[in-house]
Amino acid sequence: MAIGVRQPPACCGDPSAELVPPPAPFVDLPPTVQFAVLVTVGMLSSDRCPPCRASPDVPSGRLRRAGASWPSLRRREAGHGRHRTHGSRKGRTMNRRRFMASTAGTSAAAYASSLPSAAAAQADLNDLASLWDVDRSVANLENAYWGVMPRSVEREYDRQTRFLNRHNVTFVRDGIPGHERTVAMDNVRAEVAALMGVAKEEFTLTRNGTEAMQNLIMQYGALKPGDSVMYADLDYDEMQQAMESLRQYRGVDVIKFAIPEPATTANILEAYQAQLNAAPAGLKLLLVTHLSNRTGIVMPVREIVNMARSRGVDTLVDATQTIGHLDYTLQDLDADYVGFSLHKWLCAPIGTGAIWIRGTKLHRIEPCMGNTMLPAEDTRSRSSVGTVNFAAALTVPKAIEFHRWIGGQRKQRHLQSLRDYWVERVRDIPGMEILTPDDPARHGAVTSFRLPAMKDYVQAQKMSKLLLEKHKILTVARRGIERGSVVRVTPTLYNTRSELDRLVKALRLESRAFG
């Protein structure tokens, strides 16, 4: 059910008319709540013309003209006479009071009085699944790859795509007054920067987190032959490869070490301190992954950064799995360089990422591929990707709006509760190892498990394949961990507890073969 306002002069029967959606928090509510809100504020009538009633993309009520305020739309539309209702209204029009009584549990009146704030305050997080349009034939518990856009973000992406397809290079060349590319893209930077609590001048956009991190690693110019860099076994594959490539491109030594198990705060900090103490004097750069894509462990980044800084070592943080996932700002990390993926937990369209560089450290990151299109003091010179998916980038503010509507802290706690729900129910399986501790500071939604027979990556893949083919549950096997391969489970906001119950049941059944 899509609620919207058509642009004049087209009527609701004109397929060329563009549907302008109301605020995201409203349109993402379940249809019954939408209906209750509209009835409450007097926006929905039973007067319908056949085209409106026939189209699945048009509300089952008369569309209002553009130009009216939301939610108080004009009762009459200029030049668009009232459609006569086909058939008797009696028996088809629901009594308002009776309907409101039947939907009292939805707090529709509260939504109607102040949609964004009341919805954020009262929405049951367990009902968030209704805000996404996803395939339910498979329980997708592999959401660390990229995030699915909620309906409101998907609609915005469609709108931006239509806009760009229509205006094409006119937009890119700043030929549309009020819709200049330079202004629009700068606004995207500003929105990301505001979310992370820093200045937009320290941000530049990329196509994904991997590109962001590779740029930072490969363009780190404060290295000379004989220096060294350091990373851990739980860092992302492409980031490890980039660090290793510095041997060839910069002539440096590369130090790799393993994160201990169990990965408690004390054990992690002890491991980093030991490695930093043992490192040669020429150690210049330390890679730290905020949340490991292998196990789900959340690193105590700020403490590690402080250790490194006391030795004069710069820190590069891989935050591709945490923006929009954990509730924090860049001041909380206190790092020197950070790479982000915006299409994971922020649920922006695929093809969106960002780089943050501390202003005082910008000179240590070389311009991308010798970029001279922008001044060296402009952070944007550190990324250069040519033509980008502008529609994806321009949709990022809508994704941030949706994230803020839920609330960063509430979102993190709910994601953690999904992890806790299934973990608590499989912990007693013989031989079951959970790779993240219960400490809420050390995990989010992502958590991997290991059974005794899964030390081999082939066996971990076998378990993941069994869960998919037999139980219709999508997970993924991960390797590269010193003590053995794992299967990663990643629920997100659209997953339900019934899907997690399926996982628990499947693991109890199949664990016998991996004991």
pLDDT digits (tens, 9 = 90+) for 395-423: 999 999 999 999 999 999 999 999 999 99
Is pLDDT of 15 > 60?
Answer: no
Query: Mean pLDDT score of the chain, rounded to an integer?
Result: 82
For residue range 428-475, list pLDDT tens digits in order.
999 999 999 999 999 999 999 999 988 789 999 999 999 999 999 999
The answer to whether 129 and 492 are in contact (CB under 8 A) is no
Cβ partners under 8 Å of residue 135, min gap 6:
none
365 and 222 fall within a common domain: yes
pTM for this one?
0.79
Whose tokens are 């040669």? That residue is 280
314 and 367 fall within a common domain: yes
Nearest to 288 by CA among 246, 230, 242, 363: 230
Contacts 24+ apart (CB under 8 A), 83-89: 83/47, 83/48, 83/49, 84/47, 85/46, 85/47, 85/48, 86/48, 86/50, 89/46
| Whole-number pLDDT of residue 271 | 98
251 and 377 fall within a common domain: yes
Residue that terminates a domain, selected from 122, 153, 186: 122
Compare 466 and 513 and report the one with higher pLDDT.
466
Is pLDDT of 278 > 80?
Answer: yes
| Whole-number pLDDT of residue 198 | 97
3-state secondary structure of 473: strand
| Whole-number pLDDT of residue 31 | 52
Beta strands at 486-489 and 447-450: parallel, antiparallel or unpaired:
antiparallel
**Highest mean pLDDT range out of 52-66, 122-136, 396-410?**
396-410
Sign of CA dihedral 371, 375, 381, 382: positive
92 and 222 fall within a common domain: no
Q: What are phi and psi of 488, to 5 degrees?
A: -95, 135
Q: Is residue 17 part of a domain?
A: yes
Strand order in the sheet with 19-20: 19-20, 5-6, 64-65
Q: What is the mean pLDDT of residues 202-211?
A: 97
Compare 116 and 253 and report the one with higher pLDDT.
253
What is the CATH classification number for the domain harbouring 363?
3.40.640.10
Residue that terminates a domain, selected from 122, 152, 167: 122
| Whole-number pLDDT of residue 71 | 37
Q: What is the mean pLDDT of residues 329-346?
A: 98
231 and 362 fall within a common domain: yes
Residues written for the chain: 515
Q: Is residue 245 part of a domain?
A: yes
Structural domains counted in the chain: 3
Burial class (CB in 10 A: 0-12, 13-18, 19+), 45: middle
Range of the domain at 253: 199-386
217 and 306 fall within a common domain: yes
206 and 337 fall within a common domain: yes
Q: Is residue 148 part of a domain?
A: no
Strand partners, 255: 230
Nearest to 215 by CA among 329, 343, 323, 371: 371
The first and second tokens of residue 278, run together, are 């043992």
For residue range 77-106, list pLDDT tens digits in order.
333 333 333 344 444 444 444 444 444 333
Q: Is residue 162 part of a domain?
A: no
Residue that terminates a domain, selected from 93, 122, 151: 122
How far is CA 220 from each of CA 39, 223, 278, 415, rounded to the nearest angstrom?
Answer: 59, 7, 23, 34
The answer to whether 349 and 157 are in contact (CB under 8 A) is yes
| Whole-number pLDDT of residue 91 | 43
| Whole-number pLDDT of residue 172 | 87
Q: Is residue 419 part of a domain?
A: yes
370 and 253 fall within a common domain: yes
Percent of the chain clearing pLDDT 70 (strictly above)? 75
375 and 251 fall within a common domain: yes
Q: Is residue 327 part of a domain?
A: yes
| Whole-number pLDDT of residue 179 | 86
pLDDT band at 124 (very low <50, low <70, confident <90, very high): low
Quote the CA–CA distance of 242 and 240 in Å, as a whole number.
5
**Range of lowest pLDDT (226-240, 288-302, 372-386, 459-473):** 372-386
**Please, what is the angle between helix 390-406 and helix 408-426, to 10°?**
80
Amino acid at 251: G
What is the CATH classification number for the domain harbouring 447?
3.90.1150.10
Q: Is residue 109 part of a domain?
A: yes
**Please, what is the angle between helix 390-406 and helix 181-196, to 10°?**
30
87 and 12 fall within a common domain: yes
Q: Is residue 142 part of a domain?
A: no
Tell me the longest C-alpha to C-alpha distance in the chain. 87
Quote the CA–CA distance of 132 and 155 in Å, as a whole number.
11
The answer to whether 515 and 507 are in contact (CB under 8 A) is no
Alpha helical stretches, state H, 16-150? 24-27, 31-41, 50-54, 96-102, 108-113, 115-122
321 and 379 fall within a common domain: yes
Cα 173 from chain centre: 30
pLDDT band at 29 (very low <50, low <70, confident <90, very high): low
241 and 366 fall within a common domain: yes
